[in-house]
Structure 1
Amino acid sequence: MLKLQRLSLRMMALKPQRLHNIAETTSQSVAKRVRTMTTESSIKDAFAKYTDYLNDLNEKRERVIKASRDITSNSKKVIFQVHRISKHNKEEVLQKAEKDLADVTDRYISRLVKELQGTDFWKLRRAYSPGVQEYVEAATFCKFCRTGTLLNLDEMNATLLPLNDPSLEPLQINVLDYLLGLADLTGELMRLAIGRISDGELGFAKKICEFVREIYRELTLVVPFMDDSHDMKTKMDTMLQSVMKIENACFGVHVRGSEYMPLLGSDDPTSFLLGVPDVEI
């Protein structure tokens, strides 16, 4: 009897402890299960959000590439229009080219601005940079033929401000794309200068030569500090070739002018576009 009482007391003493252990074990397993489920759900949500972000970015990149191509093709049309210029149709050609350039700004540049505004646009620079460079080339080409001066970056960006959403930070052309477009401008000026020489406009060709020299001289001071721009350094070589072609053409006319003049049909050294006296080479 005494032994049974002792055994009962021992069981009573052990039972609460076992129940406590079971309850503790159960609560720990539930906590672990809840915590694991919560972590997996968070990872899935984060992955889904990141996937949506990448999909949206890829779709935006496609739209930006399309806008850039439209800007490129229509800017080239402006450049081809300017190349039609002569002493007989200067005003007509420039008015048409400037009108076409304004159309590129209103229709295509504005679409690009809307796509890039409020986004991580620097991630898409490779997608839109070719179009912007071509636009810079066309705009600076028109400005030079109209006034004989360079359209600077601030003036160009000022024309883009009305296209931006006032509630957001304005999207502007960056310095690198402007300089790359400026480097391409020298090639168009070289073709224009040779065309003007063939038409007898020697003064204007020499003015172009001085202008292209100045651009090349200024860029040689900047490019050595642009360590991450392989494109710019490559275009500098092309720019030097353009300068040399213009110089050789002008020098040939200067040295053998008496042979050229009957063919050209003019000995007037005054530039029909700029109204400035002949420039010594």
Structure 2
Amino acid sequence: MFQSSSTFHKLSRILMAPKPQRRRHFVGSSLDSGVKRARTISILTSSDAATGGDSESSSSSLMKEAFSQYAQYLNDLNDKRERVVKASRDITMNSKKVIFQVHRLNKYNKGEVLEKAEKDLAAVREQHILRLVQELQGTDFWKLRRAYSPGVQEYVEAATLCNFCKGGTLLNLDEINATLLPLNDPSFEPLQINVLDYLLGLADLTGELMRLAIGRISDGELELAEKICKFVREIYRMLTVIAPEMDDSSDMKTKMDTMLQSVMKIENACFSVHVRGSEYVPLLGSADPSYSLLGVSDFDQ
């Protein structure tokens, strides 16, 4: 009993005794090194602060200058794109006028119409294409191809249509580019029509030839219509071979369908002339006095 009570008192004194404070022991070297590193990062000497400040300000000014130059370059490029688009629209509009002029052609006014069309086409080159060349010289004109491509395609269409109506042949790319060389400054890389724009313009040519053939059939010029039919069929055959290799041109694949429709319309018209040729002669008689409708002379007026 005594032993248990004495033991109880000993335990109570031990438990009730104040606890000694725990001290954290740090290695002096690690503590000192940690403090020194903090001071080294946060506190700079006067010479270090002066040097660091100059380098930061100089790099910041260089970045601002580079950014301002790039922004100015983008602004100039956008302004140039707007002027190029305007020139392309003028080329398109005036090239269409040349095409409309050619559609007035018949066997009586061929020389007059083609002479006027060639003068108008030369005016397109000397005025509107010249503006385009001046805008693009000295720059990477491939960056702005999408801006002027529609006008170039329309010009190719007008030039090839005039050449076919004049000589019955196809105006090739080298011949078209040769007409543009005098417009270029010899000190710069010359602006030349690329193969893609030439082929796209050639695809549009078939539609105009289809309209021309239908008009010639209605005027009784069957030989010219058949010649146009063979010419358009040859262009379609050639582009059918080339188009599958042009993976980057969705425009060509779309125009191939339209071109096929033009070929079929010309073929059907020419075939109908051979099958029902007498019905395509004007019903009111012919300018030839020996002409008679169904074996009966023209009615007396």
Place the TM-score, normalised by the shorter chain, in its bin. Answer: 0.7 to 0.9
Q: How does 1:242-253 map to 2 (within 5 A)?
A: 242-253=262-273
Shift of 1:259: 2.6
What is the CA–CA distance in structure 2 between the aligned matches of 1:113 and 1:61, rounded to whole Å?
Answer: 13
- Are 2:192 and 1:172 equivalent residues in the alignment? yes
- Are 2:109 and 1:89 equivalent residues in the alignment? yes
Return the index of the structure with the highest Cα Rg. 2
Q: Percent identity between the aligned chains?
A: 76
Give the equivalent residue in structure 2 for 1:132.
152
User: Does the CA-based 8 Å contact 1:200-1:266 persist in structure 2?
Assistant: no
What is the CA–CA distance in structure 1 between the aligned matches of 2:251 and 2:158, rounded to whole Å?
Answer: 19
Q: How does 1:147-158 map to 2 (within 5 A)?
A: 147-158=167-178
- Are 2:82 and 1:72 equivalent residues in the alignment? no
Instruction: Give unmatched runs, 5+ long, in structure 2.
Output: 1-39, 289-301
What is the CA–CA distance in structure 2 between the aligned matches of 1:186 and 1:265, rounded to whole Å?
Answer: 31
Shift of 1:31: 1.4
User: Does the CA-based 8 Å contact 1:129-1:177 persist in structure 2?
Assistant: yes
Q: How does 1:13-52 map to 2 (within 5 A)?
A: 25-52=45-72
Cα separation, partners in 2 of 1:266 and 1:140, compared to 1, 3 Å: farther
Q: How does 1:211-250 map to 2 (within 5 A)?
A: 211-250=231-270
What is the CA–CA distance in structure 2 between the aligned matches of 1:103 and 1:259, rounded to whole Å?
Answer: 42
Shift of 1:266: 8.4
TM-score where L is the length of structure 1: 0.85
Shift of 1:258: 2.6
What is the CA–CA distance in structure 2 between the aligned matches of 1:258 and 1:170, rounded to whole Å?
Answer: 54
Instruction: Give unmatched runs, 5+ long, in structure 1.
Output: 1-20, 268-281
What is the CA–CA distance in structure 1 between the aligned matches of 2:126 and 2:234, rounded to whole Å?
Answer: 32
Shift of 1:209: 0.4
Aligned residues: 246
- Are 2:209 and 1:189 equivalent residues in the alignment? yes
What is the CA–CA distance in structure 1 between the aligned matches of 2:74 and 2:188, rounded to whole Å?
Answer: 23
User: Does the CA-based 8 Å contact 1:196-1:205 persist in structure 2?
Assistant: yes
Cα separation, partners in 2 of 1:253 and 1:265, compared to 1, 3 Å: farther
What is the CA–CA distance in structure 1 between the aligned matches of 2:60 and 2:223, rounded to whole Å?
Answer: 75
Amino acid in structure 2 at the alignment position of 1:211: F
User: Does the CA-based 8 Å contact 2:218-2:280 persist in structure 1?
Assistant: no
Give the equivalent residue in structure 2 for 1:258.
278
Amino acid in structure 2 at the alignment position of 1:196: R
Amino acid in structure 1 at the alignment position of 2:241: L
What is the CA–CA distance in structure 2 between the aligned matches of 1:260 and 1:61, rounded to whole Å?
Answer: 50
Aligned match for 2:128, one of 92, 96, 108: 108
What is the CA–CA distance in structure 1 between the aligned matches of 2:282 and 2:262, rounded to whole Å?
Answer: 27
- Are 2:131 and 1:123 equivalent residues in the alignment? no
What is the CA–CA distance in structure 1 between the aligned matches of 2:199 and 2:73, rounded to whole Å?
Answer: 32
Between Structure 1 and Structure 2, which shows a larger proportion of helix residues?
1
User: Does the CA-based 8 Å contact 1:133-1:178 persist in structure 2?
Assistant: yes
Q: Secondary structure at the match of 2:220?
A: coil
What is the CA–CA distance in structure 2 between the aligned matches of 1:238 and 1:135, rounded to whole Å?
Answer: 19
Amino acid in structure 2 at the alignment position of 1:45: E
Amino acid in structure 2 at the alignment position of 1:142: C
Amino acid in structure 2 at the alignment position of 1:81: Q
Aligned match for 2:162, one of 142, 145, 153: 142
Higher relative contact order (CA 8 A, sep 6+): 1
- Are 2:99 and 1:99 equivalent residues in the alignment? no
Amino acid in structure 1 at the alignment position of 2:135: E
What is the CA–CA distance in structure 2 between the aligned matches of 1:238 and 1:158, rounded to whole Å?
Answer: 30
User: Does the CA-based 8 Å contact 1:97-1:142 persist in structure 2?
Assistant: yes
Q: CA RMSD in A?
A: 1.6
Shift of 1:122: 1.1
